[in-house]
Chains A and B, each alone.
Chain A
Amino acid sequence: MIADATMTALHAALSGLQQRSEATADNIANIDTPGYLASRVDFESTLRNELANGETATGGQGAVTQSTDPTNTNGNNVNLDTETTIATETGLRYQLALNALDSKYSLLRSALRTS
């Protein structure tokens, strides 16, 4: 099998992080929308459970919840600083997962060459 447990786990992480960056972009796009509540994505708990139980990571969608931060006068609770921090962290973790996946591919390539 080409895709081992590590690769499926990394793949699940990538799609979860991608989903989180979409949520952050959505929050920033709606930073002035009255009544909008910031969304938060959690894919880590599912992934952690799956890995702990020795299951294959499904890479399904993370759970989306609405932020419980206090709202301002127009009922919106998006904070640009929070969103920027999350977006930066998500971006870095995305790169990290990509690098890890890349090294897996390098290993595969070397294995294919040694014959």
Chain B
Amino acid sequence: MSTFDVLRISGSGLYANRKWMDAVSDNLANINTATSTDQSAFQERMVTVEATDYGSGRGGVQVTGAQFGSAEGRLVYEPSNALADADGYVRYPDIDMADQMTQLIQAQRSYQANLSSIDRATEAYKAALQLGKG
């Protein structure tokens, strides 16, 4: 436990949620990225997190890495596409737009919740710093 620990803890929350939003926007940006059938499709990126030293009282959250979605993607018949194979198929990533948007909102709200924590803690710390001055 250090003096301004709430700021560190909520800061880790901000970081984790920003990483999540980064991953989601990357997924959305590549939602229409076609590849030829002999290559793997763009894989959806899912950030994994875990509580920092859970139970030790250190607190916070940390990004542990990412999991990847299907490399197979979905095959779409698009003979006019320059990347189409002999049968006229191309590979598109298997990413659901609605799912990504839901995740984006979730990450955004969590980010805001952590920001409110920081605001509240700052108020308390400021008041504590005025102690004995009155």
Chain A residues near B (Cβ < 8 Å) = 14, 19, 21-26, 28-33, 36, 61, 64, 80, 83-84, 87-88, 91, 94-95, 98, 101-102, 105-106
* Bound-state Cα–Cα, A26 to B117, Å: 10
A94: which B residues are within 8 A, CB to CB?
A: 124, 127-128
Q: How many residues of B contact A (CB 8 A)?
A: 35
Within the complex, the shortest CB–CB distance from A5 to chain B, in Å, comes to 19
**Assembly CA distance A67 to B64 (angstroms):** 24
CB pair B117–A87 under 8 Å, yes or no, is yes
Asked if B61 and A22 make an inter-chain contact with CB atoms under 8 angstroms apart, the answer reads no
Task: Tell me whether A91 and B1 are in contact in the complex, defined as CB-CB below 8 angstroms, given that A28-B113, A32-B49, A32-B110 are known contacts.
Answer: no
Most buried by A among B57, B124, B132: B124
> Cβ of B130: which chain A residues have Cβ within 8 Å of it?
98, 102
Distance of B93 from chain A, by nearest CB (Å): 23
Q: Tell me the B residues contacting A by CB distance below 8 Å.
A: 1, 5-6, 9-10, 12-13, 16-17, 20, 49-51, 54, 57, 59-61, 106-107, 110, 113-114, 116-117, 120-121, 123-124, 127-128, 130-132, 134
6 A–B contacts from the bound complex (CB under 8 Å): A14-B128, A28-B10, A29-B12, A32-B106, A83-B113, A98-B128
Known interface pairs A80-B113, A91-B123, A95-B124; A30-B13 also in contact (CB < 8 Å): yes
Our pick among A22, A29, A31, A106 for the contact of B134 (Cβ within 8 Å) is A106
Closest A residue, CB atoms, query B133: A102
A25 is contacted by which of B54, B121, B132 (Cβ under 8 Å)?
Answer: B121
Summed over the interface, the residue pairs from A and B with CB atoms below 8 Å come to a total of 93
The residue on B at minimum CB distance from A31 is B110
Whether A22 lies near B49 (C-beta < 8 A) is no
Is B132 within 8 A of A105, CB to CB?
yes
Q: How far is the CB of A14 from chain B (nearest CB, A)?
A: 8
Across the interface, B61 reaches (CB within 8 A) one of A30, A64, A106, namely A30
Q: Are A33 and B61 neighbours in the complex by a CB distance under 8 Å?
A: yes
Question: Which residues does chain A contribute within 8 Å of B50, judged by CB atoms?
Answer: 33
A sample of 17 more A-B contacts (CB under 8 A), given A30-B49, A91-B120, A101-B131, is A22-B1, A22-B5, A24-B117, A25-B10, A26-B51, A28-B10, A28-B113, A28-B114, A29-B12, A29-B114, A29-B117, A32-B17, A87-B116, A91-B124, A94-B128, A95-B124, A105-B132
